[in-house]
Structure 1
Amino acid sequence: MITITQRLAQTLDRIKLAAQKYQRDPATVQLLAVSKTKPISDIILAYKAGQKTFGENYVQEGVEKVQALSSQYPDIEWHFIGSLQSNKTKEVAQHFDWMHTLSREKIANRLNEQRPEDKTPLNVCIQVNTSGEETKSGLLLEQVDALADFIQQCSNLKLRGLMAIPSRKDNTEKLNKELILLSEKFKQLQHKYQNIDTLSVGMSQDLELAVENGSTMVRIGSAIFGERVQTN
């Protein structure tokens, strides 16, 4: 049976090969291990294999993991990558290092006000709805600048870039177009604001295409930890 250590190594190799294929330095593409629904023991195994950044989708589960591991593994960097309701912002502001799914001024304002003064500013990415589908979260590309301007006024937030969950890979032409437009918007932000260095896009099924289009952070879960076990 393949281990988490082996899965992690395979994923890193995949990132390296994709970067080399598109003439990029593999060091410019960071792996975010998505550990949602996975036990703390799995996170520790990945950590001991060298992985230091982990993404969580659910506030309560994520906070419990941060609290359980922060004293023994203080160098773990915790990313919140799920949808966030306004009544849960305090927990994210207090416990996480990054928040990837920011798309409303109200949430930005609450995170800014609730970030503890003894912590560094919360790193945030604006979530973009690249497909324009009403069922998906995020802003349209033309709405990004207004929220970016607002975040720049928040002293306890640091805007780092953009995050997206594009269309499925089975429509490669549409997916590629979305990624190109997203990459162009990312470059525009880099020219306009400081600290813009993160394009959080790409998962197991579209990792290579995301790297081709400038992704600096890919979010990989099942390829590292295995498929989620269904319970009755």
Structure 2
Amino acid sequence: MTENASSRLAEIRAEVAQACKIARRKPEDVTLIAISKTHPAEAITPLIAAGQRVFGENRVQEAQGKWPELIERHSDIALHLVGQLQSNKAEDAVALFDCIHSLDRPSLVGALAKAMDKRDKRVDLFVQVNIGAEEQKGGCAIADLPGLLDQARAAELPVVGLMCVPPAGIEAAPFFALLAKLADDHGLPGRSMGMSGDFATAVKLGATHLRVGSALFGAREG
């Protein structure tokens, strides 16, 4: 299993490097986040052994059940929350995660500011944008982005970039390009975009953080 994890990781890193070469970017400027949601610790440890150190989870409670012990054994791991965050879980998220990709509403601004002050810990944040204006998806509307950023900055939250999940089943490139433009317009260096099926395209369009799950772990469990 370790060999499989190592080979899958090497293949994805090679694809990222090739996409960076085409885009005239440095591979070290792109962070690969291994999305380990629904996968147990036994599936994660081979990737750690293969050198992966940045992981992502969708749910605070699931992460609490498997990551503290892994982090105790591997103190250099960085853990990212990439799923929706309820305001009442803000303090738990701040305690466990190094970065949160799903800031999307004013109530969460307040909850995260309070949690960071209480914990005396600053956690990097991405604002999730509902880039395809899909009713069923989280993320703030594009029209609401300036106001949300103003609120986050007024609360002295460390917003480092924007995140999006493009609509399924259609070409992702225009949505990645739009997110990159929005990030540029608002002076934000981070672009969390690109998953297992489209991360090379995302790299070519400026992604700084890739959220790759199934290409590394195989089909989801659970």
TM-score past 0.5 threshold: yes
- 8 Å CA contact retained: 1:93, 1:116: no
Aligned residue-pair number: 221
Deviations 1:33-84 (A, max 9, x none): 0001111122222122111110000111112223222222111111011111
Backbone CA RMSD of aligned residues: 1.7
Match of 1:212 in 2: 204
- 8 Å CA contact retained: 2:57, 2:63: yes
Match of 1:151 in 2: 152
- 8 Å CA contact retained: 1:126, 1:161: yes
Q: What is the CA distance between 1:118 and its match in structure 2?
A: 5.6
Q: What is the CA distance between 1:17 and its match in structure 2?
A: 1.0
Task: State the distance in 2 between where 1:103 and 1:43 align.
Answer: 29
Task: State the distance in 2 between where 1:3 and 1:95 align.
Answer: 29
Match of 2:82 in 1: 81
Match of 2:19 in 1: 18
Task: State the distance in 2 between where 1:120 and 1:209 align.
Answer: 34
TM-score (norm 2): 0.92
AA aligned opposite 1:201: M
Give unpaired runs (5+ residues) of structure 2.
none
Task: State the distance in 2 between where 1:171 and 1:229 align.
Answer: 26
TM-score (norm 1): 0.89
- 8 Å CA contact retained: 2:131, 2:164: yes
* Counterpart among 174, 181, 189 of residue 177 in structure 1: 174
1:91 aligns with 2:92: yes
Deviations 1:165-188 (A, max 9, x none): 0123x422xx32222221111111
- 8 Å CA contact retained: 1:4, 1:224: yes
Q: How many percent identity over aligned positions?
A: 33
Deviations 1:122-148 (A, max 9, x none): 111000111111111111222111111
SS in structure 1 opposite 2:173? helix
Q: What is the CA distance between 1:120 and its match in structure 2?
A: 3.5
